[in-house]
Structure 1
């Protein structure tokens, strides 16, 4: 029997698989591929006696062996630091065993960390918003002034617009920063980019742009996220913008990414890149462009060759 493609994901609060896992299952059936979703919480690992290799398993599947054709990593649900570290260690072990994995663990670790993402983008010579990161509210307030007196405060980890706060008043900034410091939180401040009221999400897969959408915020919001009630429409990106998105994807070490672009005049390219998502959603993209994005992803994973363990990256 043909080995299955696995998707590591989390269930919704109701215990169901989320829309993206269900869409992958639909696409797999259309492509006549075996597909099995597995919860992150089901990951298990063993260290064997000397001379025998250890294993990583999930729901009875050995991810480090040939009985699995590939592993797709969807958004990792929140958990304790210990569990998150173990999950990433397990993914590195799977990669080292030669099992095709999308995205690679290094890309996941980079993209989930907003600061590290910007470091990688900066090193690649790509445009990023002016950003300050620190731990004390006093220094953050000084940075607030230097950043023009209007910033977006973001959690270091997180996606879909969750936890973002737009602050444009100094007293509000002082109280906000003090509250974050009091809970031992990290202060991540980004200059607010006053654009035309929309942003662009470019979906990249294996150094090719699958498509792009322009996202508009809901009437009651400033965040241009479809997950927070925003809307989307197809967006044509020119060759230069395609190259920009592909370079951003490569900078974080990803094969699959959603690259966010904010329009900003007066700079090369005309865009800044605030974030790169290594587990991007595609519901709005697929609907706007009438593309079977899930099928593209599964086909890319299926066509990824298995490496010999000694060829694979070490943990």
Structure 2
């Protein structure tokens, strides 16, 4: 296969995927979102391309698969264009992984949380609004102790906890002025860890318990510590159902155990561009190799022979 990886140049994940692809006889390269372009000549087939640092054009139509390894921030127009282009590439016969539908849902915290909640899955009490007045009302409704999250974002970036009403008001006013959507969740006291279950094609690749005793955010990127974990059947079923609802074939599902109800698991996030560095170090599972093997299966099932 010819595989393109949409990620940051120099990324550990991109290197892992390229090494895994090349080990199985495939060619690969890393591209970045801001270099993508579409060309619609008159009465001809749409063409997709990427431009490297030397402005050399790379034909995206030549690739068999495209792995999405990042979804960088951007303007509304940029985000819409990226999602549209991914969808058009998929329609042109390129295997996009995860699918544009899954990426569109999972990168949007409101859409993900809303779908999970509508299906009766346990999510923290959540409020989403644009005005500081509405946010202050929900701040009180959520018990006066909330976690504020960017609607788009990962690895714990931009997340902060507020329990002081004056600070909450100033924070919400600032977000309102910047035309941000204000996304609030009730803070759930937890024992200093959460669970990350990595799912690929309806099966558990591995799971870890992420500890952080100095920060309520347990992300490995925030100096969290990972240890291998064997999820219970109910935890696995919860993760699988979350992936089904977001249409994610490959996802990291985060579960939280509240101190007040240790038998309960809250669904915090379904990440369709999941990191696995901490999980791989704790479990010794070669995640990149499994991803490439799965892409081979997808292409075979689509009737495309492999080398």
In the superposition, the TM-score normalised over structure 1's length comes to 0.88
Match for residue 13 of structure 2 among 17, 20, 27: 20
Instruction: Quote the Cα distance in structure 2 between the aligned partners of 1:254 and 1:206.
Output: 8
Instruction: Quote the Cα distance in structure 1 between the aligned partners of 2:36 and 2:136.
Output: 43
Match for residue 293 of structure 2 among 277, 291, 299: 299
Moved more, 160-169 or 53-62: 53-62
Q: Which residue of 1 aligns with 2:54?
A: none
Q: Which residue of 1 aligns with 2:268?
A: 274
Quickly say closer, same or farther: Cα 1:303–1:63, change in 2 above 3 A: farther
Instruction: Quote the Cα distance in structure 2 between the aligned partners of 1:80 and 1:245.
Output: 31
Whether the aligned pair in 1 keeps the contact of 2:8 and 2:14 (CA below 8 Å) is no
CA RMSD of aligned residues (A): 2.0
Match for residue 175 of structure 2 among 177, 180, 183: 180
Q: Which residue of 2 aligns with 1:8?
A: 6
Size of the alignment, in residue pairs?
297
Q: Which residue of 2 aligns with 1:235?
A: 229
Map Cα deviations across residues 59-110 of structure 1 (whole Å, 9 max, x no partner).
Answer: 544334xx32211111122233322221111100011112211000011111
Q: Which residue of 2 aligns with 1:57?
A: 49
Whether the aligned pair in 1 keeps the contact of 2:18 and 2:28 (CA below 8 Å) is yes
Q: Which residue of 1 aligns with 2:114?
A: 119
Q: Which runs of 4+ in 1 moved over 4 A?
A: 265-269
Superposition pairs for residues 1-315 of structure 1, below 5 Å?
A: 3-11=1-9, 17-50=10-43, 52-59=44-51, 60-64=57-61, 67-217=62-212, 219=214, 221-264=215-258, 270-305=264-299
CA apart distance, 1:10:
2.4
Moved more, 32-41 or 203-212: 32-41
In the superposition, the TM-score normalised over structure 2's length comes to 0.91
Whether the aligned pair in 2 keeps the contact of 1:129 and 1:273 (CA below 8 Å) is yes
CA apart distance, 1:172:
1.8
Map Cα deviations across residues 276-315 of structure 1 (whole Å, 9 max, x no partner).
Answer: 111001100111000100101111112213759xxxxxxx
Instruction: Quote the Cα distance in structure 1 between the aligned partners of 2:243 and 2:262.
Output: 18
CA apart distance, 1:268:
11
5+ long unaligned stretches in structure 1: 12-16, 309-315
User: Secondary structure at 1:190's aligned position in 2?
Assistant: strand
Map Cα deviations across residues 217-242 of structure 1 (whole Å, 9 max, x no partner).
Answer: 253x2211110111111111012211
Instruction: Quote the Cα distance in structure 2 between the aligned partners of 1:273 and 1:235.
Output: 17
Instruction: Quote the Cα distance in structure 1 between the aligned partners of 2:105 and 2:36.
Output: 21
